[in-house]
Amino acid sequence: MSEKPSISSFEALFDANPLSMIIVQDLTKIVYCNKTFIDVFGYSLEDVQKMEILDFVHKDDIILIKDRQKILLEGGEPERRFTMRFIHKDGSIMLTQVTGDNIIFNGKPARIIISANISAEPLINQSPELVNALLDALTHHTELGFWVDDLDDHTMYINDRLCEVLGYTFDEIKDKSVTDFLHPVSQETYHQSIENRKEGTPTSSYELVLIDRLGRPNTFRVIGSTLYDSNSQPMASVGFFANIEPMKKLSAIVSTLNKYALYSRYKDLSTFWNKVLDDILGIFYSDHGMVFLDSEILAKKGEFGFNFSPTEILEDLTKKGDIVSYIDTDCSHFFDSAQSVILATMFLNQQPAGFILIGSEIDNLYLPQDVDLFMTFANQITMNYEHHFLYIESEEEREYVSILLDILSHDFLNANTSVHGYLELLDQGLDTQNIDKFKEFLSRSINVVERSERILQTVQQLTKIQKERKAKRTLPLRPILENAIELQKTMFYPRKIDVTFECPKKKVNVIAGDLLQNVFENVINNAVKYTEEQDVKLDIKCVSVEIEELKLIEIRFTDYGMGIPDDIKPRFFKRLTRGDHRFQEGSGLGLYLASVILDTYNGEIRFSNRVPDDHKKGTVVIVQIPEG
């Protein structure tokens, strides 16, 4: 064997390589071998110095070497990679994958031959043509990717399919390890599989998410196996990679749709849509998202640009007639560093009513099948949402109809019966000339008729409230409050109502409907009724509050009247039933109706004492309505 090169780094580099290496000059003369070659084939350095390349080759494969030598002599270039059988010093056969390349060694042309032991009992005695065909099928003609690495996580081989999915060439990958491509969610899984492999208990099947050249995540089902040398020592591992990203997303979409099939499990719209958005962002590896529906941002993740206008986005989608839109250029108006955005229009009553948006700082994150899948999800989740609300509305309406019929059939009928009885008594006593009795029966009849009127008015109000559920919009608060105040001042004239009205913002908007003024009228009316003094003092103050990320306008009505006992306060908001005592005097009906109206606006009404622990010093009625 020729003298080794004098450059120490050259020898150190080859000896550290996990693959066997030899350098051949003059076609057959071995001028260098690395330590791995000696260890794998069992020969000593002295043995190798006395041998030529053909001395290591199985007798049936010598023709392969000679054919390659002939091509080189004729100035040609044989295929770089081929399979052949080497003979171990103990006589055993070792099937190897060989790669050959031209180099200059010590100033002279040479061939470097790199080999990997791929021995497997069923293949050792098969012809190289069969083995080559098998490897060719695994390398070029399969949907499965496979990745071979040594026990120190260095890449030894990766087939064309996996290179294609990841968007790299083999030369770009060969000096890297699997960990260079792992998504953070897979780091722990992969390192655990490495530990298991070192302990002799390799994980047979697991999921890994790898990042491709464009930064897109791809989920693979990996089936791993350890490769052993002829001495039954582990030398490498192979993982077969099946790309399950499309199936995984589809499965996650179906699961998410099932999970959110019933909106009623969630306390409000914001909670529902925020949970939906969290899940869909996870499925598509996105960092920004928004749900905009019925002129409201119901859920949002990430910070959006200052000039971003959901209303304008919806108008643009509607104008273009787009059901789904994928934007991968000029996305900066959505949010800083935006590179990929998908918008899916949401339809209610077959009309564009909003959109779901997801976005990422990764360029070209979404594949065409992702866009289709996202559109399907948006359509289905909106349909689920709409159908559920239609069902809820129909149930509520049926329940309301039942209550109204119950009230009308029982209370109104009883009232008519009472009036009829009093009129009969009057008729029977016409010739008695008993004026006091006449007045008593007339007074009772009038009271019953007034009670009947209250019943009918309540039924009318409840009917309007049902329609109000579908008519919410953004309204200015101040003029509605001012109208209610003026109307009550007129109604109670000549009593003087002194109102202190404090609202820090000149323009305050709320999300409500036409019956909001009725709420304020009922609250003010109640305050005046239960103030014994001729002159009534009432303080009204509105402030912005935030409860669980929901922005509200809180209006506090503070009176100085006789107050409401603490044990009676809950009765005002109890549901009406037939024979309800509130129909007798009308007491509490207005506040009950106010609570029902506010409920349709996702608002609330409650009481507190003006002076803590002393209800006799006046009442504070607190009304909360979503801010517009």
**pLDDT, tens digit, 9 for 90 and up, residues 453-473:** 666 666 666 666 656 555 678
pLDDT of res. 9: 46
Q: Are 46 and 92 in contact (CB under 8 A)?
A: no
Residue 5 has pLDDT above 50, yes or no: no
Average pLDDT over residues 386-398: 66
Residue 280: pLDDT band with limits 50, 70, 90? very high
In the three-class reduction of DSSP (H, G, I as helix; E, B as strand; rest coil), residue 292 is classed as strand
Average pLDDT over residues 184-196: 84
Number of separate helices (H) and strands (E) present in the chain: 19, 22
pLDDT digit string, tens, across residues 210-223: 999 888 888 998 88
Tally of residues, the chain: 628
DSSP string, 216-257: -EEEEEEEEEEEE-TTS-EEEEEEEEEE-HHHHHHHHHHHHH
CATH code of the domain made up of 471-626: 3.30.565.10
Q: Are 24 and 113 in contact (CB under 8 A)?
A: yes
Residue 574: pLDDT band with limits 50, 70, 90? low
Residue 187 has pLDDT above 80, yes or no: yes
Residue ranges of domains in the chain: 8-124, 142-243, 252-464, 471-626
Residue 344 has pLDDT above 80, yes or no: yes
> Which residues does 417 contact at the CB level (< 8 Å), separation at least 6?
none
Residue 428: pLDDT band with limits 50, 70, 90? low
pLDDT of res. 277: 92
Residue 433 has pLDDT above 70, yes or no: no
Average pLDDT over residues 96-110: 84
CATH code of the domain made up of 8-124: 3.30.450.20
Residue 581 has pLDDT above 50, yes or no: no
Residue 424 has pLDDT above 80, yes or no: no
* The CATH number fitting domain 252-464, selected from 3.20.20.80, 3.20.20.140, 3.30.1330.10, 3.30.450.40: 3.30.450.40
Question: Before 234, cis peptide (omega within 30)?
Answer: no
pLDDT of res. 290: 92
Is the pTM value of this prediction over 0.75? Answer: no
Average pLDDT taken over every residue of the chain: 79
Residue 24 has pLDDT above 80, yes or no: yes
CB count within 10 Å of CB 38 equals: 17
Average pLDDT over residues 370-395: 78
175, 242, 244, 349 from 217: Cα distances, Å:
21, 14, 11, 36
Domain 142-243 adopts which CATH fold?
Beta-Lactamase (3.30.450)
pLDDT of res. 444: 67
Same topology for domains 142-243 and 252-464, yes or no? yes
Looking at the chain, the whole-number percentage of residues with pLDDT higher than 90 is 7
